[in-house]
Chain A
Amino acid sequence: MHRTGELYGQFKTLEQQKDTASLGMWIFLVTEVMFFGGIMLAYTLNRHVYFTAFAMGSNTLSLALGGFNTIVLLASSFTMAMAVWSSQTGKKPLISIFLILTIALGFVFFGVKYVEYSQKFRHHLVPGKSFNIFYCVNNPAGCPDMDAAELATEREELDKAQAQDPDLNAHAQLYYSAYFGMTGLHALHMVIGAGLLFWLLKESKAGRYTPQWNTPVDLVGLYWHFVDIVWIYLFPLLYLIDRHK
């Protein structure tokens, strides 16, 4: 390949190069839709069959933390869009500022996710041999972060669910398989996205992005928004099952 400035050797014009890159990114996002589609199908099927267990599992998640993370991600999409805008309008210092903000919001998301995950580990809510959805109500000492009132409500709900679905403990694992599978893959995508943002930051500090050539900012932006949209689906699917009562 022969590099001539910003134009790669296989292209004739910058415009062709930009169109090509953006078509490639959109097709890549299509593959991502299919990728998440598979696990969402598994989710849908199991939620349909084991609704009680899924509602029970969903109720153990913290609406506050999930909602907070949703706002954080939406904000990061805004700062990402601003970074793209800054690169298109030639405001070079702003690009880096907005990229740093986006990265920071991404790390806030990771932090909250860490809090949520570690709580699930402590509460024995990770699929596998030690999974026990009754762990907290039977061992209050193991769950110091839940007060007596919370535990009482939970026991009541668990008993009700158990009456409807005698194999609740097994089926609840399917909910947590979905929870960890989907949020885990989403988090993995965010880690990759954060890596890309760091790379953009390095390049933007070197002043590489101009109104004539800012394709990487544009494309990483698309990717970041996609990952954001995935979360917009995951939040209601995982956190908001049967919350209306």
Chain B
Amino acid sequence: MSTQPNHRDPQFPERHYLNETYGIRSWLLTTDHKRIALLYLASVTFFFFVGGFFAMMIRLHLLTPSGYLLSADNYNRMFTMHGVTMVFFFLIPSIPAILGNFLIPLMVGAKDLAFPKINLLSWYIYIVGGAFTLYSMINGGLDTGWTFYTPFSTVYSNSAVAPAVVGVFITGFSSILTGLNFLVTVHTMRAPGMTWFRLPLFVWTHYATSIVMILGTPVIAITLALAAMERLFGLGFFNPAMGGDPILFQHLFWFYSHPAVYIMILPSMGVISELIPTFARKKLFGYHFVAAASLAIAVIGFLVWAHHMFLTGQSTYAALAFSFLTFLVAVPSAIKVFNWVATLFGGSISFDTPMLYAFGFLGLFLIGGLTGLFLGCLGVDIHIHDTYFVVAHFHYIMVGGAVMGYLGGLHFWWPKITGRMYPEWLARIAALILFVGFNLTFFPQFVLGYLGMPRRYHVYPPEFQVYNVMSTAGASILAVGYLLPMIYLTWAAFFGKVAGDNPWPATGLEWKTASPPPTENFPVTPEVTWEPYDFHDRPDLGLDVTHMPEVAPAHGDD
């Protein structure tokens, strides 16, 4: 790696958060945000592979037009459980609860989050919610789709809906408490000199994410509570037999579940905003705009939910407004993409693994975002609503965007978390496998959707088989791409090369302490005197700045 030589032999610290105390109790009763992040890492990874198993069942079943593997009913259960697991137990907690938990106190220069006990509580809540949902899964599963639409979920479904709904309801509180913790930490726990506009964008995007968690999650909580009470005790808000309104459920559900998409993608954007300046050796272009765009996404994201309901017979004028707002929310996302690309321009780019993931993110998020605009068009949506086009679109955002950012971040901060480097070449190959596998899985689904294959069907006309075979083949490659990092990152945590405090080097405060950090994060409270992503005024990074551009040339190469 070209970026290594600034370090004299990196030393592994003698005392750090991993060896401060020993034993299972010291982990299960810890209030250290870094250890809680690792607890989340283990449990979220578990749910990721549970959800991945359901995904593989879906893809294997769809290998043939008549679907040999599963009955129609079991197929319904598979895609439902895939969605529920991935959305509520992987995507929403992934970056915030793992990387955010680990990094936010380090990035703002605090000893811990504002409420360490509540942080631990939120992990336990997550586990209890997960247990309820797993209970539903091993009791026959549920078949409502991850959206739990009423009155099917409340009256007609014969599957184990109630425990899953209760599980998701409970898990919501873990998300609320995490968001609350982050928000308060950013407000009150910043180190001296860490002004708002010196915060890393990772912190800004988590701030925006926390706002969505705090304002959105309680609404899904009450909605699922009402749905559960309807199924269990016969309340009637969503039951047409009593004059209740199933569309009300959809409104309430999407009031959270659309912003929830931003809970998944904003933290990933935060990761990308860290990776690109680091590996382009250049100040992020338009820092203030990227920070403000995060907040704009959080705010406008609350005003677009009914674009999931264009075909429910809502008023044309409402649909027009929601379509317009949907286009509007694309603007701050585009601002971010343009700023990342502008940062690359004239930078001194290195192709380390995290940067490969960042590049993957840029391309896939672009496709996912633009196809989102197709879906936001009233006329086009009528044609592609509930087809594989939608499936491909949100997988490009959630897997192509959120998971690429998650894995990029995991690689980038793995040396900080474990103190050891992962095997670089293997990691680059895995990133490439992931990118290829991902596109092979999901690009054909755009075509399928455009040609009219509906989502959630367990059979399809034979002429669609070639695209489905491509998709299933891609999913198998994708699976390899996910297994590889799990294996070599685990290996690296124990046997990798010692990384040193700041192996990249990067500019954030988290790199100023040891890797792995001591329990109290910083031996002395740090004082921040530099601007974010500034490689020039940082002699401590040991970079030769004479050949590095300070900012992008304003008029091309002149």
Which of the segments B1-9, B38-46, B113-121, B476-484 contacts the partner chain? B113-121
Q: Does A27 contact B (CB under 8 A)?
A: yes
Within 8 A of B (CB), among A11-64: 12, 16, 19-20, 23-24, 27-28, 30-39, 41-42, 45-46, 49-50
Please judge, given known A-B contacts A23-B184, A27-B183, A181-B229, whether A174 and B219 are in contact too, CB under 8 Å: no
Residue pair A10, B111 in contact (C-beta under 8 Å): yes
Of all chain B residues, the one with the shortest Cβ separation from A27 is: B180
Please judge, given known A-B contacts A128-B234, A171-B243, whether A30 and B214 are in contact too, CB under 8 Å: yes
Complex Cα–Cα for A35 and B225 (A): 10
Please judge, given known A-B contacts A10-B111, A42-B237, A127-B235, whether A20 and B243 are in contact too, CB under 8 Å: no
Residue pair A10, B112 in contact (C-beta under 8 Å): yes
- Neighbouring A residues of B525 by C-beta, 8 Å: 12
Size of the B side of the interface (Cβ < 8 Å), in residues, is 46
Residue pair A39, B218 in contact (C-beta under 8 Å): no
Taking the closest CB of chain B, its distance from the CB of A28, in whole angstroms, is 6
Residue pair A37, B184 in contact (C-beta under 8 Å): no
* A34 CB contact (under 8 Å) in B180, B219, B248: B219
Taking the closest CB of chain A, its distance from the CB of B295, in whole angstroms, is 16
Residue pair A41, B252 in contact (C-beta under 8 Å): yes
- Neighbouring A residues of B234 by C-beta, 8 Å: 127-129
- Neighbouring A residues of B236 by C-beta, 8 Å: 127, 170, 173-174, 177
Q: Does B215 contact A (CB under 8 A)?
A: yes
Complex Cα–Cα for A9 and B522 (A): 13
Q: Does A180 contact B (CB under 8 A)?
A: yes
- Neighbouring A residues of B111 by C-beta, 8 Å: 9-10
- Neighbouring A residues of B187 by C-beta, 8 Å: 20, 23
Of all chain A residues, the one with the shortest Cβ separation from B187 is: A23
* B244 CB contact (under 8 Å) in A2, A23, A174, A180: A174
Please judge, given known A-B contacts A10-B113, A173-B236, A177-B235, whether A39 and B226 are in contact too, CB under 8 Å: yes
Interface string of A69-103 (1 = CB under 8 A from B): 00000000000000000000000000000000000
Q: Does B278 contact A (CB under 8 A)?
A: no
Interface string of B206-242 (1 = CB under 8 A from A): 0000000011111101110110010001111100011
Complex Cα–Cα for A178 and B238 (A): 12
Interface of B is mostly: helix
Complex Cα–Cα for A146 and B230 (A): 30
Residue pair A34, B244 in contact (C-beta under 8 Å): no
Interface string of A126-146 (1 = CB under 8 A from B): 011100000000000000000
Complex Cα–Cα for A1 and B113 (A): 11
Taking the closest CB of chain B, its distance from the CB of A50, in whole angstroms, is 6
Complex Cα–Cα for A42 and B236 (A): 10
- Neighbouring B residues of A180 by C-beta, 8 Å: 235
- Neighbouring B residues of A156 by C-beta, 8 Å: none
Interface of A is mostly: helix
Residue pair B229, A171 in contact (C-beta under 8 Å): no
* A171 CB contact (under 8 Å) in B115, B223, B242: B242
Q: Does A167 contact B (CB under 8 A)?
A: yes
- Neighbouring B residues of A170 by C-beta, 8 Å: 236, 241-243
Complex Cα–Cα for A127 and B221 (A): 21
Complex Cα–Cα for A9 and B241 (A): 56
Of all chain A residues, the one with the shortest Cβ separation from B113 is: A10
Within 8 A of B (CB), among A194-208: none
Of all chain B residues, the one with the shortest Cβ separation from A45 is: B248
Q: Does B189 contact A (CB under 8 A)?
A: yes
Residue pair B215, A30 in contact (C-beta under 8 Å): yes
- Neighbouring B residues of A10 by C-beta, 8 Å: 105, 110-114, 116, 189
Complex Cα–Cα for A75 and B188 (A): 35
Please judge, given known A-B contacts A24-B180, A31-B218, A127-B242, whether A46 and B237 are in contact too, CB under 8 Å: yes
Taking the closest CB of chain B, its distance from the CB of A67, in whole angstroms, is 26
Complex Cα–Cα for A66 and B189 (A): 45
Residue pair A31, B217 in contact (C-beta under 8 Å): yes
Q: Does B176 contact A (CB under 8 A)?
A: yes
Please judge, given known A-B contacts A10-B110, A34-B218, whether A127 and B184 are in contact too, CB under 8 Å: no
Residue pair B217, A19 in contact (C-beta under 8 Å): no
Residue pair B237, A37 in contact (C-beta under 8 Å): no
Q: Does B31 contact A (CB under 8 A)?
A: yes
Which of A16, A27, A31, A174 has most chain B Cβ within 10 Å?
A31
Within 8 A of A (CB), among B169-227: 176, 180-181, 183-184, 187-189, 214-219, 221-223, 225-226
Taking the closest CB of chain A, its distance from the CB of B218, in whole angstroms, is 4
Residue pair B184, A24 in contact (C-beta under 8 Å): yes
* A1 CB contact (under 8 Å) in B112, B188, B225: B112
Taking the closest CB of chain B, its distance from the CB of A153, in whole angstroms, is 25
- Neighbouring B residues of A32 by C-beta, 8 Å: 218
- Neighbouring B residues of A39 by C-beta, 8 Å: 222, 226
Residue pair B188, A35 in contact (C-beta under 8 Å): no
- Neighbouring A residues of B215 by C-beta, 8 Å: 30-31, 34
Residue pair B222, A35 in contact (C-beta under 8 Å): yes
- Neighbouring B residues of A16 by C-beta, 8 Å: 188-189
Known pairs A1-B32, A174-B242; list 9 more (Cβ under 8 Å). Answer: A2-B520, A8-B116, A9-B520, A12-B525, A23-B184, A38-B219, A38-B222, A42-B226, A170-B241
Q: Which residues of B contact A (CB under 8 A)?
A: 31-32, 105, 110-118, 176, 180-181, 183-184, 187-189, 214-219, 221-223, 225-226, 229, 233-237, 241-245, 248, 252, 520, 525
- What are some 10 contacts across the A-B interface (CB < 8 A)? A1-B117, A9-B112, A24-B114, A30-B215, A31-B217, A31-B218, A34-B218, A45-B248, A128-B234, A174-B237
